[in-house]
Amino acid sequence: MDPTTPSSGDHTASTPTNTTVTLPPLTLRDVPRLPAADPIPNPISSRPCFHPPPTFYISPGDVSLRHAFFDLASGTPDPLVAYRRAGPRGSLAVDPARARAALVTCGGLCPGLNTVLRELVVGLQELYGVRDVFGVAAGYRGFYGADVDHVRLDPAAVDDWHKKGGTALKTTRGGFDLDKIVDGIVARGYTQVYAIGGDGTMRGAVAIFEEFKRRGLHISITGIPKTVDNDIGIIDRSFGFQTAVEVAQQAINAAHVEAVSAVNGIGLVKLMGRSTGHIALYATLSSRDVDCCLIPEIDFHVEGKGGLFEFLYERIKQKGHAVVVVAEGAGQDLIPRTDDQKREQDESGNNLFLDIGPWLKSEVGRWWKREHPSELFTLKYIDPTYMIRAVPANATDNLYCTLLAHSAIHGIMAGFTGFVPGPINGTYSYIPLEDIAVAKNPVDVNDHKWAWVRSVTDQPDFLKPQDY
Ligand SMILES: Nc1ncnc2c1ncn2[C@@H]1O[C@H](COP(=O)(O)OP(=O)(O)OP(=O)(O)O)[C@@H](O)[C@H]1O
Ligand SMILES: O=P(O)(O)OC[C@H]1O[C@](O)(CO)[C@@H](O)[C@@H]1O
Ligand SMILES: [Mg+2]
C-alpha cells in the first residue's frame, strides 16, 4: 500500500503528518577539472559593488538534484543523481592575468546569442579581470580558416549586442576538423574556449575536450547550450525558446484573422522544430486560437475516417474556420520523396527535411476540391520560420543568457572544464558536456502539457481506424 495513504476511513480532514521515507544513495555526476594550480582568492571579493557575504560563494558540497519529484509508491530514481551547483567559488584555479578566452557560435541562429557573447565579454573582464577575450568568426571552422578573423572584444565593443538578433561573430555549419581546430586553439594561445551552439556544437565540444586531454593540454572548454527548438535534455529549457514562442504568436494571430475573415477559412502556420514540437506546442497553448497542433513526436494521417482533413471539415462546419499549427518535422513520412531527397543532408550532417507547410496546403486544397467541390474554401499559409529566431531575445531570455554566461565563466575560473551550465529545476548547475551531448528533449506526449494541448484544441489522435 502507498505509505502516505491514511488508514482511517472517516470523512473529517486529518491533521498534517510527517512520513519518513528512505531515499536511495546520491550520486554526484561531477564535471572534470584541470590540474589545480595554487588557489587565487576570487577577485569579486575586492570589487567595491559586490561586498560578498560568506553565503555568496558556492561551497564544494553544494549540489542540485536532477529529479525534483518522484512517486514514492513506484520507487525513487536509483541512484539519485546530483550535479554541482553553478556559481562563483571563493578561490580560483585560473590566473585571470594569464587567461586567454575564445568565444565561438555554431549552428543555426537563436535569440540571445549576442546577449551570451556580450555577457561573456563583460563578465570575464569586469568580474574577473580577464583582458584577452576574442571572438572567433564563423563557427568551428573559424579556429583554423586563414580568411577568418579573431576579434579582440571588450565591454565597449559589445555594449549594445543584447539588443541585436543573430550573432555578431557569424555562425556556420560543418567544417569540423578536430586536428585543425585544436591546432588553431593552441597556435593562438587560448586557455579557455566557450562554444555556444546546439546538440552538434556540444558533440563537437566533447571531441575537442577529449583531444585536449589526449594531447595533455591545460585548456578548458565549456558549452553553452543554444537551440531555438528546445531539443536539448537535462536542462529546464534552452535560451531563445521563449522569445521564439512569443514571436510565433504574431503568425498565429494573422492566420486566425485570415481564417475568420474568409468563408470556410483555414489558417496554416509552420513553426520551427526539427525533431521536437516544443515551439508548436507552447505557441498553441499560449494562443488559444489554434484548432490543431501537429508535432514530430506524433504520427498522423490526413485522408479518410479519423484523419486530419475530416477533422478540419467538421471544425469549419462548427466554427466557420480553423487554425492549424504544424512543426517543421511533423508528418515527414507522409511526404513522398525520391531516394536522393532521402539522402540529403546539411553541411553538419543533419538530414534535410521536406517542407511540410506547402505540402499540407496543397493536399488540403486538393482534398476539399474533390470532396466538397461546391463549397467555398480558402487556405492562407504563413511560414514565419526565420522570423521567430532572427530577433533579439525578450527580457526573460536576456536575463537567462546573462545567468548562463556568468555561470560558464564562474565554472571555468574555478578550474572546471568539459561542462555545460544550465538550470535544472530552476537551480543553475554544471553538467558534464558528454551527458548534454546525448540528452534529447522530445515532447512527452503522455504528460500534462500534451493533455493541455488537447483541452485547448479539442483535437483527436488522427489515427487510422486500424491503429486504435
Ligand atoms: N558528432 C559531431 N562531432 C563533432 N562535431 C560535430 C558533430 N555534430 C556536429 N558537429 C559540428 O558542430 C557544429 C554545429 O553543428 P550543427 O550545424 O548540427 O548545429 P547545432 O549545434 O546542432 O545547432 P542547431 O541544431 O540548433 O542549429 C558544426 O560545425 C558541426 O560540424
Ligand atoms: O536553415 P538553417 O539555418 O540551416 O537551420 C534550420 C534549422 O535550425 C533550427 O532553427 C535549429 O536547429 C531548426 O529548427 C531548423 O530546422
Ligand atoms: Mg542540431
What are 307-342's pLDDT values in tens digits? 999 999 999 999 999 999 999 999 999 999 888 888
Query: In the predicted model, is pLDDT for residue 39 greater than 70?
Result: yes
Which amino acid is present at 235? I
Which atom of ligand 1 is the closest one to the Cα of 172? 29
Residues forming the active site: 229
Q: How far away, in angstroms, is 199 Cα from ligand 1 center?
A: 6
Give the residue among 98, 106, 165, 166 at the shortest CA–CA distance from 131.
98
Query: In the predicted model, is pLDDT for residue 14 greater than 90?
Result: no
C-alpha distances in angstroms, 377 versus 89, 171, 265, 293, 306? 64, 43, 6, 21, 21
Please work out whether the CB of residue 411 comes within 6 Å of at least one atom of ligand 1: no
Separation of CA 402 from chain center? 15
Query: In the predicted model, is pLDDT for residue 148 greater than 80?
Result: no
* Mean pLDDT value across residues 245-264: 98
Q: How far away, in angstroms, is 380 Cα from ligand 2 center?
A: 23
Please work out whether the CB of residue 142 comes within 6 Å of at least one atom of ligand 1: no
Please work out whether the CB of residue 175 comes within 6 Å of at least one atom of ligand 1: yes
ipTM: 0.98
How confident is residue 13, by pLDDT bands cut at 50, 70 and 90? confident
Burial class (CB in 10 A: 0-12, 13-18, 19+), 467: exposed
* Mean pLDDT value across residues 19-25: 85
Question: Do 456 and 294 contact (CB within 8 A), yes or no?
Answer: no
Question: Do 64 and 18 contact (CB within 8 A), yes or no?
Answer: no
Q: Residues spanned by CATH 3.40.50.460 within the chain?
A: 241-390
Which amino acid is present at 333? D
CA dihedral 269, 272, 275, 279 (to 10 degrees): -80
Separation of CA 89 from chain center? 27
Q: What percent of the chain has pLDDT over 90?
A: 81
The pTM (predicted TM-score) of the whole model is 0.94
What is the tens place of the pLDDT at every residue in 176-233? 999 999 999 999 999 999 999 999 999 999 999 999 999 999 999 999 999 999 999 9
Does residue 405 come out as left (phi exceeding 0), alpha (psi in the -120 to 50 range) or beta?
alpha
Query: In the predicted model, is pLDDT for residue 1 greater than 50?
Result: no
CATH number for the segment(s) 91-239+393-438? 3.40.50.450
CATH number for the segment(s) 241-390? 3.40.50.460
- The pLDDT, as a whole number, for residue 9 is 58
* Mean pLDDT value across residues 110-124: 98
| Ligand sitting nearest the alpha carbon of 280 | 2
Give the residue among 321, 324, 323, 325 at the shortest CA–CA distance from 262.
321
- The pLDDT, as a whole number, for residue 229 is 95
What is the tens place of the pLDDT at every residue in 230-250? 999 999 999 999 999 999 999
Length of the chain: 468
Question: Do 242 and 394 contact (CB within 8 A), yes or no?
Answer: yes
Which atom of ligand 1 is the closest one to the Cα of 228? 26
Which amino acid is present at 57? Y
Could you tell which of 110, 229, 281 is best to mutate to test the pocket of ligand 2, judged by most ligand atoms within 8 Å of the CB?
229
What is the tens place of the pLDDT at every residue in 364-421? 999 999 999 999 999 999 999 999 999 999 999 999 999 999 999 999 999 999 999 9
Please work out whether the CB of residue 240 comes within 6 Å of at least one atom of ligand 1: no
Q: How far away, in angstroms, is 324 Cα from ligand 3 center?
A: 25
* Mean pLDDT value across residues 165-170: 96
Which atom of ligand 2 is the closest one to the Cα of 273? 14
How confident is residue 12, by pLDDT bands cut at 50, 70 and 90? confident
**Cell of residue 76, nine digits:** 525513487
* Residue 428: strand, helix, or coil: strand
Please work out whether the CB of residue 328 comes within 6 Å of at least one atom of ligand 2: yes
How confident is residue 2, by pLDDT bands cut at 50, 70 and 90? low
Query: In the predicted model, is pLDDT for residue 468 greater than 70?
Result: no
Q: How far away, in angstroms, is 103 Cα from ligand 2 center?
A: 21
Could you tell which of 173, 182, 345, 433 is best to mutate to test the pocket of ligand 1, judged by most ligand atoms within 8 Å of the CB?
173
Q: How far away, in angstroms, is 109 Cα from ligand 2 center?
A: 8
Question: Do 382 and 228 contact (CB within 8 A), yes or no?
Answer: no
The pairing of beta strand 91-92 with beta strand 40-41? antiparallel
- The pLDDT, as a whole number, for residue 57 is 96
CB atoms within 10 A of CB 424: 22
Q: Nearest residue CA, atom 13 of ligand 1?
A: 201
